[in-house]
Structure 1
């Protein structure tokens, strides 16, 4: 539900969204005064009929209306406001913010230090971190006392990128107490390419506060959104394979059509150069034999056969000397 409120200071109107529950309650307590009471015309009888209708009811109505307006303003969550006028923002920066849209509903947290110097850093992309009232995009919380320090706010956002990284900067943080000329803090988040995760490994790197000005907190995290689009291309081997397969297909289809339509072949004879392919195995064997063998095929043998008629008669007494005396 929406209410139209009048601002007497500058004589303007604004629209305020009121939750449905509050709207029903306001209608309930204001129903007698809006519909029934004007018709009665008798104030005393109306007060007797509706005893709850009084200045307290009106005050309660205003109180609930104020609470509804306050909650309506708080529920409208802030988002990144790029540096520059509203209609003159960089289109490249707007495109980068649109690229990081999947991270808007995520919150990243990292704890560093030990003992009383332990700090918790909470970071969100174009959404409020911390107590949701300061417009902070990155906050530092002292774990020992719970003190919250705004490192950077959403209303001063700057973003740019490279081939495999995105740099997100939140300016306008809380002022330093004794460092950097008491200037406002600034958060610099380096988002590096990691194709294996949507967003992870948020960690503080360092705090540069040893200068007079331009101090900053440096953070890093990984995200696949920072990666440049992969350019798919075929390797040399793939190109050769595709070319060879295409040529083979053209040879077979073209040869088949020629044999069938021109020559008039039937059956297996339609296959182009059928005799060559049938004899391919023998040709390969001959080629292998020619390449692999080192001796000529017609070299005469180093020995020859001997017939029985060419053998002389064996002496029967050749072993007599072996007999015992």
Structure 2
């Protein structure tokens, strides 16, 4: 590791969570209520910051400073969804005949427009990851950056190989009386890295990170479990859909260390987007190669990404039942 290596942290204080709740229930909190109530958005805890993702794009980066909650968004997500984002120049002046960017936040309307703008910037790989994590209760983090430089954040569009190791998804998996933390790298079938072994080098780099940071990861992701617990409680207090009481208790038990949590130090590979002809053709030999190097358990290869990271993993209530069983064994 380089000298600029910094610890991996996931943390939000009770005071910051209280500020989030006050904002959501306050007169200017419609933006947050809309986001909390949208099942297509994923809230990802960072280090005293929250990133809110839609189809692989960070619509919001929520910061806490000066006793306030401050959301930031990229200007490209504020382009109104019925406007061409390219502006003509006429006689040395940019031709704005109509309003191009959102102004005041409008409840329900503004978030819909932001999502429409974000779709423009979501590539096939981001869309696949989104389809895989949607409705999967086991997914607890996305776009996980192991920084080599303090200047890099999870949603920066920088050279990943040069600046950081960035894992696509962190997911809970039932293991005995507790859970494993499984780190997934996702690749669309069209990605040439699958066919030149660059992906294997990438996974090896991730593995070194996981081996080095095991204790940091356990602390961080117990904090993440607490965050999702508190976030669901906030949703329910606002009259929005949230987890059941047994689900909230189970997340709390994970957060408090009452359930075992284990870091799987060998990252897994999720490959999607191939058809039946490709499955029996070009992909067949490549799949066998990956299984020989990684083992079958570390490879999930499916045509339709929406089938998720594990067979049956998206069934309603599956996480609740799994954690409930683990709680009973651990009690």
TM-score bracket for the superposition, by shorter chain length: under 0.3
TM-score (norm 1): 0.22
TM-score (norm 2): 0.22
If asked which structure has higher relative contact order (CA below 8 Å, sep 6+), I would say 2
* Structure having the higher Rg: 1
